[in-house]
Each structure stands twice: as structure tokens, then as C-alpha cells.
């Protein structure tokens, strides 16, 4: 206990955080893990329940409906006609979704988060994948659980996201002969900076920056809140904040990387790595 009681931090009980709708939700985004035949029947049952029994507007990805098992199902045809479809990186649905339902594992939730670079609607994640740190719902009684969320009778778990800005310097090689440029000036540097490309993302739990298809090592300067943390030359860099649960390590597993202990805001070169009823609300 601190000597000055005014400086004591009071942490709200997570069980007291409740989902409250300003008005009844009308639209829901259903995210299904692609190329997983075991999720076809749960996906169809959920969509029938949402459209026919709850009269919800259901958004699904266009590529989900291109699955032959769904496209060729005549019995599912009347339900498909009611869907609103969108394409990733083409259509903006950020202001049209009241809440999200994920069918899959933690990687599916990670993907759902990436679709919303601003505020994220409440996420209801069913555990139908290999990892379930962030997917607490069981699909066996999905009707009653979805109804509770629609009625606002659900607890909330708040999870923060990282704001990541990637600044890439563009350089071009000059044509030289015997160390002399075309204009006759002696060349001290064969590369010249011509501009910068800035990309900004909201990411859940971790960020991995790699060199992509380039065969050369990358020079990466890592900053946190404007302060330089480290400079790394290698094939990439991964970083994540410390989290008070095992959920802080799930991103490495779903991304194909091993578990790492992150004791604070940290970044680790990739070459140093070794193989070793709640609704989620993602905040910016």
C-alpha cells in the first residue's frame, strides 16, 4: 500500500463491465475461418438463426460464399440472398456493423481485428479452432448466447491494440561509370533517398515486420512514443506489450512464431527467436 492513499489506483472488477446497447443491434458481421469444412454446418446454422429468427442484417465476406459447399447448397440459397457481402481491402463496412461473431480460433479473431482500423464493434468469438485463449464461447448452445448478447446481457473484456506506424525509405540506384555519375560528378554514394512511404495500422497483441521478398537484410529503427528503443539489422522484427495473461503469447503461435516472454514493451529480432459468456471489445 502506498503512503498517500490518493495515489492508489482502483481497478474496476472485469465482471462488472457490461455490454449496453444505445439501441437494439440490427447488423452483425459473421467471420468464418476459410477452407475449414468443419465450420460449414455451424456457419449455416448461425446464419439461419440470425436472419430468420432474429431478423438481423448479416454481413459476410464474398470469398466465404465462393466455397463450393456453400455456393452449391440449394437449401441454403434463400438465406444467402439476404446476405450483405464485402471484399477485404475494397469495401469499408466500419460504420455498418453493430457487433461481430467469429467462428474459428484466435487467428480468426486476429483477422477480424485487422478489418477495423478505427473503432472495433464488440466481438463474440466461438471456440472452433486450434487455439482458444480469446474465444470463450461454446457453440453447442449458441442460440441462447447470441440472444443474450443481442439483449445486452453479456460481460465485456476490454483489450487494447497497438498503433503501429511503419516508415519505409525509398532509394534508387544511380547509373555510374567508374564511380562517376552521368553529369561528371564523383559519386560518393550509389544510392539516393527519393521519398518515404508511411503505413499505419491498429494491431492486436503484437506486430511483426519482416523484409518480405527482398534477399537483403533490413535496417530497422524501433521507436516507442517517439523514443528510439533499438536498431536492428536482420530479416525482421517482432514486438508486443506485456499482458497479464497467456493471451499475450497467442499471436506468436498463430503467426508461426514461438512463444516469447515479454516483460515490457519489447522488440526482438526474428533471428533471435527459437522454437519452443464474455464479449471481447477491442479498443484503439
pTM of the model: 0.69
Per-position pLDDT tens, the chain of length 284: 344 555 455 555 655 688 889 899 999 999 998 888 899 999 999 999 999 999 999 999 999 998 899 989 999 999 999 999 988 878 888 889 999 999 988 888 888 888 888 888 999 989 886 666 777 788 989 999 999 999 988 888 887 788 888 888 776 555 555 554 444 444 444 444 457 888 888 877 777 777 778 888 888 888 888 888 888 887 776 776 554 343 444 333 333 333 333 333 445 555 454 433 556 666 55
Residue 253: alpha-carbon gap to chain centroid: 14
- Angle subtended by helix axes 142-150 and 40-48, to nearest 10: 50
Whole-number pLDDT of residue 218: 81
Looking at the DSSP bridge assignments, the partners of residue 224 are: 227
> Residue written as cell 474465444?
135
For 149, residues 6+ apart whose C-beta sits below 8 A from its C-beta are 19, 99, 122, 124, 279
Residue 281: alpha-carbon gap to chain centroid: 12
Whole-number pLDDT of residue 149: 92
| Nearest residue to 66 via CA among 28, 103, 100, 32 | 32
Whole-number pLDDT of residue 250: 38
Using DSSP, state whether 77 is helix, strand or coil. Answer: helix
Using DSSP, state whether 143 is helix, strand or coil. Answer: helix
Q: H helices of the chain, where?
A: 40-48, 62-65, 68-71, 77-80, 106-114, 142-150, 250-254
Residue 86: alpha-carbon gap to chain centroid: 17
Angle (nearest 5°) at CA 111 between 106 and 113: 95
Angle (nearest 5°) at CA 239 between 237 and 243: 165
Which residue ranges form the domains of the chain, and what is each CATH number?
18-155 (3.40.50.10330), 160-171+194-237+249-283 (no CATH)
Using DSSP, state whether 7 is helix, strand or coil. Answer: helix
Sign (positive or negative) of CA dihedral 180, 185, 188, 190: negative
Amino acid at each position: 500500500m502506498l503512503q498517500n492513499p490518493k495515489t492508489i489506483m482502483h481497478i474496476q472488477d472485469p465482471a462488472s463491465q457490461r455490454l449496453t446497447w444505445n439501441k437494439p443491434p440490427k447488423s452483425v458481421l459473421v467471420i468464418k475461418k476459410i477452407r475449414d469444412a468443419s465450420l460449414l454446418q455451424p456457419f449455416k446454422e448461425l446464419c439461419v438463426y440470425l436472419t430468420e429468427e432474429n431478423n438481423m442484417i448479416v454481413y459476410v465476406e464474398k470469398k466465404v460464399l465462393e466455397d463450393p459447399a456453400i455456393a452449391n447448397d440449394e437449401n441454403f440459397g434463400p438465406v444467402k440472398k439476404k446476405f450483405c457481402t464485402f471484399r477485404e481491402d475494397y469495401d469499408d463496412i466500419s460504420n455498418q456493423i453493430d457487433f461481430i461473431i467469429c467462428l474459428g480460433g484466435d487467428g480468426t479473431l486476429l483477422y477480424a481485428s485487422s478489418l477495423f482500423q478505427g473503432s472495433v464493434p464488440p466481438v463474440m468469438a466461438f471456440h472452433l479452432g486450434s487455439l482458444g485463449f480469446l474465444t470463450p464461447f461454446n457453440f453447442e448452445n449458441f442460440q441462447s448466447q447470441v440472444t443474450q448478447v443481442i439483449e445486452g446481457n453479456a460481460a465485456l473484456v476490454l483489450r487494447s491494440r497497438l498503433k503501429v506506424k511503419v516508415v519505409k525509405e525509398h532509394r534508387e540506384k544511380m547509373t555510374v561509370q567508374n564511380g562517376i555519375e552521368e553529369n561528371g560528378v564523383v559519386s560518393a554514394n550509389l544510392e539516393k533517398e527519393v521519398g518515404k512511404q508511411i503505413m499505419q495500422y491498429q494491431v492486436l497483441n503484437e506486430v511483426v515486420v519482416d523484409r518480405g521478398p527482398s534477399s537483403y537484410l533490413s535496417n530497422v529503427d524501433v521507436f516507442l512514443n517517439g523514443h528510439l528503443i533499438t536498431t536492428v539489422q536482420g530479416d525482421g522484427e517482432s514486438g508486443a506489450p506485456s499482458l497479464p495473461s497467456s493471451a499475450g503469447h497467442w499471436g506468436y503461435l498463430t503467426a508461426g512464431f514461438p512463444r516469447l516472454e515479454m516483460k515490457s514493451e519489447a522488440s526482438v529480432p526474428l533471428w533471435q527467436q527459437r522454437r519452443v459468456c464474455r464479449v471481447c471489445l477491442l479498443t484503439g
